[in-house]
Amino acid sequence: MSTTAPKFKLALCQIAVGDDKQKNITTATAAVTEAAKNAAQVVSLPECWNSPYATTSFPQYAEEIPEKKAALNEKDHPMTLFDTPYGKMGVGICYDIRFPELSMLMKKQGAKILLFPGAFNLTTGPAHWELLQRARAVDNQLYVAATSPARGPEGGYQAWGHSTVISPWGEVVATCGHGESIVYAEVDLEKVEEMRRNIPTTNQTRSDLYELVQK
């Protein structure tokens, strides 16, 4: 008998990120705690939740990792997928959502939901943020959830915000504006199976003409 639960509550924590690392950690901890108190079973934080979104800040916030590699090459970065009691999930970071093949490979390996912590700006955000999420959801007939930082004060990096959950049908299940917020959504994995039954693109793929290969 399968132990996979068909439904679970997802929370996306759209938190403000500043130049005080300890405050960022405290803010994130409080948001995750609040989400858990509201019965969230899976919680996502945004990209760069513990430091400002700026390469000039990274040396200041960097920490040593004992016994870990100092330099990594592409082969050290396999796709990130993990099993949960609710089904397999895949993770991409921000710009990764622009590459359909990555999402397709994660679907091929069994992902039912893709999580994309990201920080689109005020140019790419309104044009592409929701569009790309809906495209990846419909392409792969699964849920897509993208978590952004809240928009910061004027003068710093301006994140678009609008953390969003998209259904396999391409509908917006839940979203928010650009301020601090926790977005909650019920994820019903039966909708993934229903979509794949009713529009069986996986079974109808022309593998005689093209092939998706992971290297």
For β-strands 42-44 and 181-188, DSSP reports them as unpaired
Q: Is 47 a catalytic residue?
A: yes
Q: Of 211, 97, 200, 89, which Cα lies nearest the Cα of 141?
A: 200
Place of tokens 């959801």: 137
Q: Can you tell me the distance from the alpha carbon of 101 to that of 99, in angstroms, rounded to the nearest whole number?
A: 6
Specify burial of residue 111 (Cβ count, 10 A radius: 0-12, 13-18, 19+): buried
Which of 13, 48, 94, 176 is catalytic? The answer is 94
Q: Is 7 a catalytic residue?
A: no
Which of 13, 47, 107, 176 is catalytic? The answer is 47
Q: Can you tell me the distance from the alpha carbon of 97 to that of 164, in angstroms, rounded to the nearest whole number?
A: 13
- Cβ atoms within 10 Å of 49's Cβ, excluding its own: 22
Place of tokens 């924590």: 13
Which of 37, 64, 68, 69 is catalytic? The answer is 69
Q: Is 69 a catalytic residue?
A: yes
Count of all residues that appear for the chain in the document: 215
Give catalytic residues, as residue numbers. 47, 69, 94
